[in-house]
Structure 1
Amino acid sequence: MADFHKCAIVGCGFVGSSIAFSLLESGIFREMILIDINQEKAQGEAMDLGDSIPFTKPMEIAAGSWQDLKGAGIIIIAAGANQKPGESRVDLVHKNLQIFREMIPKITKYNQDGILLIVSNPVDILTYAALRYSGFSKEHVFGSGTVLDTARLKYLLGKKLSLDPRVVHAFIIGEHGDSELPVWSSANISGIDLKDYCAATGDALKDSDLKDLYREVRDSAYQIIQKKGATYYGIASSCRRICESVVRDEHSILPVSIFIDGHYGLSDICMGVPAILSSKGVERVLDIPLNKEEQKLLLQSASAVQKILHEDCY
């Protein structure tokens, strides 16, 4: 029986350790297990994180082994090779698929009831691989998808309009990568259509402005990696938000990477699209309205992902 008071993080690099700290701060779990191929690294992270517990909420944090995954409600997979400067997320596929082939059976040996949350890149490919290798239901395997990309869009659009990004509602969907796309047709400011809001306030947003915003979102990770070597704070917060929705049974809508079969005219693929998340995992995939150009771009994004799937996962 899965216990949503217990989580596990597999992979204690920059991303995994940042996720652990964000979840510690959230207080939504009472027990956290850290697993890494470098056991001393996992132990050191557990000790360091433990020093924060007096300032947060009670939690048991420990480095563990595969058998300690028993009972974990959510298993977060952040293990894999890191994206290097000049390297695309897709370039990582061969190295990380091999890691997943060896790792997923070790996880499922001790846990068949929990939820697998995939964070490692390329997240869409690895979510599909985890689903296939684990034998779990499609509701219990999903990736961080375009949750972070969507957050970047909300932040940048809010900055452009001098608004709190929390009142900005717009999705990035598709591949978490170069072919992702913004859904401008349903973008709104607290329920007010984006174009209507701009008309009412006199904040002009030209097509060129929208294209610039999208490019900045799409290329953000490359810029961060070039400047500091890795991205980890944003994805840690994204992971925390996903976990909150599941553990608290919030029924929140987030664009996670999920198995799509029949939605948007697509099948047999994992990509970031809006879904309702609850204690059941993925409760429902949502077909949000897309205009013709957005539908075309989504199909192109799917084609890019499926090409890799057919070359590397079959």
Structure 2
Amino acid sequence: MGATRTSDVTSTKLSVVGAGSVGTAVANACLIRGSADAISLFDLNPEKVRAEVLDLNHGTQFAPSCRIEGDVDIAVTADSDLVVVTAGAKQRPDQSRLELAAANVALARKLTPQLLAVSPDAVIVFVSNPVDIITYAAIEATGVTDGRIFGSGTVLDSGRLRYLLARRADIAIENVHAFVVGEHGDSEVALWSGATIGGVPAENFRIDGLPVFGPEVRAELFDEVVRSAYEIIRGKGATNLAIGLASARIVEAVLRNQRRVLPVSTLQTGLHGLRDVCLSLPTIVDARGAHTVLDVPLSPEEAAGLAASAATLHEVQASLDL
């Protein structure tokens, strides 16, 4: 890690690449939560990055102590412990994340080596879409296969599912556990077989003796998870607030060495028969990055869905010569 030490106190540095709606939401969430001791914004638009840095700094009185700076020079990210990359073309209404692939893959291939040149020990987390394809391209461009490069994956999708389950069950979201895996996109898969409400399997959860999450309800809720991003983009132009908070959770898992299990997108090396593709499965995230994929049980339907999701990503990779 690239943390500096002053008076025996370790200082953590986070850099955010891209000062658009997502990048500033990530920076703001991390500022409010006290996720890092220093935050640097890197963007090629000088007026935008200066304005966002000013706006964030004007709120520092009301948040945990944090130094905030920004620049159009990538040197502003030097000696980062963690870099969150949000830069890239923006998803249009009704455009799939995979349709964004070509331009953002080219950016990742160019940008990632530059980021590692000034922060050679940094963990790099991609949030830009299509996150699985971009993460794979960045790993291929750098040869860094040890888990220090990974994507935000289905952390947000899993949060969306947990929110819907909690609302339908009328239970605090902290007591709801469920994962969405695979592509962060239309082919993703909900792991209903492992979903629990207060320790009760979701399929067995009842209110007044009546089952709450029957097959039709499960299908309805998962369809809402998949469609929600398109609805948000149509209404406000981008999804940014929730991914900002989700990214802050990932940042803290790394910078605080929390060993959290998060469904992030990593290079698969054989579990469930998956290889040479980045997709999301429950994975341990700590100061080293995302490095241990857990062997969660899958129903036959879930295993087939995960294989189909991987095949979708492989097809896109092949079309981009990855």
TM range (shorter): over 0.9
Distance 1:26 1:222 in 2: 28
Following superposition, the deviation at residue 228 of structure 1 comes to: 1.2
Q: Once structures 1 and 2 are overlaid, which stretch shifts more, 134-143 or 258-267?
A: 134-143
Distance 1:295 1:113 in 2: 35
Contact 1:131/1:138 (<8 A) preserved:
no
CA RMSD in angstroms comes to 1.4
> Which residues in structure 2 correspond to 1:142-157 (within 5 Å)?
142-157=150-165
SS of aligned partner of 2:15: strand
1:14 paired residue number: 21
Are 2:172 and 1:160 aligned? no
1:133 paired residue number: 141
Are 2:293 and 1:280 aligned? no
Distance 1:313 1:261 in 2: 20
1:67 paired residue number: 75
> Which residues in structure 2 correspond to 1:151-230 (within 5 Å)?
151-198=159-206, 201-230=209-238
Question: CA distance change for structure 1 residues 92 and 205 in 2, over 3 Å: closer, same or farther?
Answer: same
1:130-179 superposed Cα distances (whole Å, 9 cap, x missing partner):
11112323310111000000000000111111111111101100000000
Aligned residues: 314
Following superposition, the deviation at residue 102 of structure 1 comes to: 2.4
Contact 1:171/1:187 (<8 A) preserved:
yes
1:86 paired residue number: 94
1:263-300 superposed Cα distances (whole Å, 9 cap, x missing partner):
11110110011001111112311110001010000000
Q: Once structures 1 and 2 are overlaid, which stretch shifts more, 169-178 or 89-98?
A: 89-98
Are 2:310 and 1:302 aligned? yes
Are 2:276 and 1:268 aligned? yes
Distance 1:274 1:204 in 2: 25
Runs (4 or more) in structure 1 with deviation over 6 Å come to: none
Equivalent of residue 116 in structure 1, options 124, 141, 144 = 124
Distance 2:168 2:150 in 1: 32
- Aligned residue type for 1:17: T
1:89-130 superposed Cα distances (whole Å, 9 cap, x missing partner):
011001111222322232122121100000000000001111
Which structure 2 segments of 5+ residues have no match?
4-10
Question: CA distance change for structure 1 residues 197 and 43 in 2, over 3 Å: closer, same or farther?
Answer: same
Contact 1:161/1:203 (<8 A) preserved:
no
Distance 1:93 1:283 in 2: 25
Contact 2:83/2:123 (<8 A) preserved:
yes
Equivalent of residue 33 in structure 1, options 29, 40, 48 = 40
Which structure 1 segments of 5+ residues have no match?
none
Contact 2:15/2:82 (<8 A) preserved:
yes
Residue identity (%): 36
2:61 paired residue number: 54
Following superposition, the deviation at residue 24 of structure 1 comes to: 0.4
Q: Once structures 1 and 2 are overlaid, which stretch shifts more, 100-109 or 80-89?
A: 100-109
Question: CA distance change for structure 1 residues 200 and 291 in 2, over 3 Å: closer, same or farther?
Answer: farther
- Aligned residue type for 2:82: I
SS of aligned partner of 2:106: helix
Distance 2:173 2:77 in 1: 37
